[in-house]
């Protein structure tokens, strides 16, 4: 039985099983793990995970894939959940997932990772397949083109442990962009992470504007208040968001 990947869902099914060993190494899979997979597709990775961990939770939006996943769904070590991963209450899964290992749908990869940082506190390690530019963005340095809100948030919550470029030929259909596996492990979240996240997203909301103007346009604080907060952390009012390192945003959020 064949199935046509749906472009609107960002589907690129994993077809080359040779990449699975790299995923297993970067994810540091162990018997006893509870692993969350988002977008199992045809179940190639799901099967690999279930054979090596205690529980594999797989979240799939596309009901047309049900016949392809029926065999896996019958396994006692696989829990298949149907729905939008961004809308489901994944924090209610029991036992709580400890690792997020997935070939993420390209169109929702970034919000899925960002939401998992504080929304899934049990996750201690991520190993995700994403577009190469997204992988680069996660750990980009300040004042570079790739650096943005997602860079700050990921780096405040985790440290990178590995990266591996992935050939387009491992997918069906082959995507028009390069991909990469990126692995990272959790760091202790800064206090009031939700507030820091709001400040970071406001700061980058209008990237070409100065940080006080961007914060004001986002409605988070007045321009004057943001400029005063920058002064507290030793920065001038003309500073743009891309110039601040992740730790600077923690200080800025405290000052605001």
Range scoring the smallest mean pLDDT among 2-16, 24-38, 116-130, 197-211: 2-16
| Rg, Å, the chain Cα set | 20
Choose between 6 and 96: higher pLDDT.
96
Choose between 78 and 177: higher pLDDT.
78
- Would the pLDDT of 10 be above 90? no
pLDDT at 3: 62
Q: How confident is the model at residue 168 (pLDDT cuts 50, 70, 90)?
A: confident
Pairing of strands 179-186, 158-166: antiparallel
Report the distance separating Cα 248 and Cα 236, nearest Å: 13
Instruction: Reply yes or no on domain 7-186 having CATH 1.10.4030.10.
Output: no
pLDDT at 156: 98
Max Cα–Cα distance, the chain, nearest Å: 63
Report the distance separating Cα 120 and Cα 88, nearest Å: 12
Q: How far is CA 158 from the centre of its chain?
A: 11
Region 221-225: mean pLDDT is 96
Region 208-216: mean pLDDT is 96
pLDDT at 5: 53
- Would the pLDDT of 1 be above 50? no
- Round the average pLDDT of the chain to a whole number and report it: 93
Residue 64 DSSP class: G
CA-based nearest residue to 77, from 125, 120, 20, 35: 35
Region 28-51: mean pLDDT is 95
- Would the pLDDT of 248 be above 50? yes
Is the link from the previous residue into 248 a cis peptide, with omega within 30 of 0?
no
Range scoring the smallest mean pLDDT among 11-25, 28-42, 153-167: 11-25
pLDDT at 80: 96
Fold of 193-255: Helicase, Ruva Protein; domain 3 (1.10.8)
**What residue segments make up the domains of the chain, in order of their start?**
7-186, 193-255
- Give the DSSP letter string of 101-167: EEE--GGGHHHHHHHHHHH-TT--EEEEEEEHHHHHHHTPPTTSTT-SHHHHHHHHHEEEEEEEEE-
The tens digit of pLDDT for each residue in 77-130 reads: 999 999 999 999 999 999 999 999 999 988 899 999 999 999 999 999 999 999
How many other C-beta atoms lie within 10 A of the C-beta of residue 50?
21
Is the link from the previous residue into 255 a cis peptide, with omega within 30 of 0?
no
Helices of type H across the chain: 20-27, 44-50, 66-73, 109-119, 132-138, 149-157, 193-203, 211-217, 223-232, 246-255
- Would the pLDDT of 174 be above 80? no
Question: CA angle, corner 15, sides to 11 and 16, nearest 5?
Answer: 140
Query: Among residues of the chain, what percentage have pLDDT more than 70?
Result: 95
Helix (H) or strand (E) holding 179: strand 179-186
């Amino acid at each position: 039985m064949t199935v046509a990947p749906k472009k609107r869902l960002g589907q690129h099914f994993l077809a080359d099983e040779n990449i699975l060993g790299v995923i297993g190494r970067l994810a540091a899979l162990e018997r006893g793990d509870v692993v969350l997979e988002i977008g199992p597709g045809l179940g190639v990775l799901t099967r690999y995970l279930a054979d090596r961990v205690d529980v594999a939770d797989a979240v799939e939006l596309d009901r047309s894939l049900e016949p392809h996943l029926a065999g896996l769904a019958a396994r006692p070590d696989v829990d298949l959940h149907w729905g939008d991963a961004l809308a489901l209450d994944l924090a209610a899964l029991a036992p709580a997932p400890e690792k997020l290992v997935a070939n993420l749908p390209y169109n929702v990869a970034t919000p899925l990772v960002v939401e998992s940082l504080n929304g899934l506190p049990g996750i201690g390690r991520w190993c995700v397949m994403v577009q190469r530019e997204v992988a680069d963005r996660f750990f980009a340095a300040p004042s570079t083109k790739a650096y943005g809100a997602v860079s700050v948030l990921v780096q405040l919550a985790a440290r990178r442990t590995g990266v591996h470029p992935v050939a387009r030929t491992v997918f069906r259909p082959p995507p028009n962009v390069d991909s990469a596996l990126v692995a990272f492990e959790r760091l202790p979240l800064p206090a009031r992470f939700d507030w820091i996240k709001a400040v970071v997203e406001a700061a980058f909301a209008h990237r070409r504007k100065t940080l006080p103007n961007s914060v004001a346009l986002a409605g988070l604080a007045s321009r004057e208040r943001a400029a005063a907060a920058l002064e507290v952390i030793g920065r001038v009012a003309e500073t743009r968001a891309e110039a601040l390192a992740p730790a600077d945003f923690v200080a800025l959020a405290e000052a605001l």
